[in-house]
Amino acid sequence: MITFFALAILLGLLAESLQSAEGFANVQSIMDNFLVKLIIWASLTALMYHIVGGIRHLIMDMGYWEELDSASSSAKISFIITAVLAVLMGVIVW
């Protein structure tokens, strides 16, 4: 549910920034606030978690990583990938 909320925020900001130079300046001024940056970062992190988890489940639907040991390993790897992407999103936002 939060992923759709995050996507709506991000697409709204993108639409505002692409409409005109004033819209872009407005989004830039909004992004100067630490709390807004934190919300954007959290939204992007949730989105990355959702994407990584979805790819993992697609691979599991193909018949791989279905056993307990391999499923546990793939879950740990997906958390690590999500953490790396969260750091990357933090660098991009800040």
Residues 6+ apart with CB under 8 A from 54: none
Find out whether 57 is annotated in a ligand binding site: no
Considering only CA atoms, give the Rg of the chain. 17
CA 73 to chain centre: 22
- As annotated, the binding site includes 50
- As annotated, the binding site for heme includes 50
